[in-house]
Structure 1
Amino acid sequence: MPIRYALPNDADAMAEITCAAFAEFEDFDVTREQSAANWRRNLLAEAAERPRPHHTRIAELPDGTVIGLVKGGPADPGLGLDAEILALAIHPDHQRHGHGRALLRTVAADLCADGFGSLAIRVLAVNERARRFYTSLGGVLAGEVPPGEVFYAWPELAALL
Structure 2
Amino acid sequence: MLRVREMTEADIEAVAAIRVRGWQFAYAGLMPQAYLDAMTVEEDAERRREHFARGRLAADNLVAERGGSVVGWSCTGPCRDEDAEPGDGELYALYVRPDQVATGVGRALLTESVRRATARGHAHLRLWVLQGNTRARRFYESAGFTPDGAEEPYEVDGVPVPELRYALPLPLPLPQGTHRQ
TM-score w.r.t. the length of structure 2 is 0.77
- Which of 85, 94, 97 aligns to 1:91? It is 97
Q: 2:137 aligned with 1:131, yes or no? A: yes
1:7-156 matched pairs, under 5 angstroms: 7-9=6-8, 10-24=11-25, 25=27, 26-27=31-32, 29=36, 30-47=39-56, 52-63=57-68, 65-81=69-85, 82-142=88-148, 143-147=150-154, 148-154=162-168, 156=169
Matched residue, 1:4: 3
Structure 1 residue 46 displacement after superposition:
3.0
Does the 8 A contact of 1:79 with 1:120 survive in 2?
Answer: no
Q: Distance in 2 between matches of 1:100 and 1:109?
A: 14
Q: What percent identity do the matched residue pairs reach?
A: 31
Question: Which amino acid letter does the alignment assign opposite residue 76 of structure 2?
Answer: G
Does the 8 A contact of 2:95 with 2:106 survive in 1?
Answer: yes
Question: Which amino acid letter does the alignment assign opposite residue 107 of structure 1?
Answer: S
Q: Distance in 1 between matches of 2:153 and 2:89?
A: 19
**SS of residue matched to 1:23:** helix
TM-score w.r.t. the length of structure 1 is 0.86
Matched residue, 1:158: 171
Question: Which amino acid letter does the alignment assign opposite residue 55 of structure 2?
Answer: E
Does the 8 A contact of 2:62 with 2:75 survive in 1?
Answer: yes
Structure 1 residue 62 displacement after superposition:
2.8
Unaligned 5+ residue runs, structure 1?
none
Aligned length: 152
Structure ID, larger Rg = 2
Structure 1 residue 53 displacement after superposition:
2.4
Structure 1 residue 137 displacement after superposition:
0.9
Structure 1 residue 98 displacement after superposition:
1.5
Does the 8 A contact of 2:74 with 2:109 survive in 1?
Answer: yes
Unaligned 5+ residue runs, structure 2?
155-161, 173-181
